[in-house]
Structure 1
């Protein structure tokens, strides 16, 4: 895997991936043109675990109709402003059993999500699951 960033102006950078995609990062005070690098890490965590949970629930033939994963992170007060705690909330919709959802989230956290596995070496990651229209 290969990636690079190119400085554009002020505190704005274009990030490029080997697969041809790009993301604008904006570390300026307003963050007007894109996420900060740390926001992107948090979004990557949400995306990574979402991919796992959807994949696992589909394999279990659960009727998932929606999934939103939101993250709240606390950061150190002084540089480097690393994450000190991350709380994930999984909003699961559809006819999904609570057991299947809990198993999928646990498998993502403990086995499959590369971003989570990297981050947990430095930060505590907690999660809760909220259900809408789920089955027992």
Structure 2
């Protein structure tokens, strides 16, 4: 009888660990499938008459990231994969005041902005301290 109790005890510990592992796996999978709803009203976005697009995104060339105005989230590239975050991690790619330089994306307004990355990387390029200073004092 004592052996049976020991076996049942070990089995219950094993079962509890298995259930906990499954719960953690389910939680991680749910975190990946988060659907971000529009937070901002689309009608408040600026509009570019030349491209016929609303300005929904800002591109940060120095850290190769996007900000979605509608959903108030960032798309950043970590280890070669695009990740959605609510704020740029501290010291992400040496993030600083100069890396905060951004440009409005006036040629795309759909949901898959990361597909445009090769085009935007080539079009906008790295923003130097000099470019930021010229932009701030308006001498450009």
Q: What is the TM-score when the length of structure 2 is the normalising length?
A: 0.23
Structure of larger gyration radius = 2
- State TM-score, norm by structure 1: 0.23
Bigger share in strand: 1
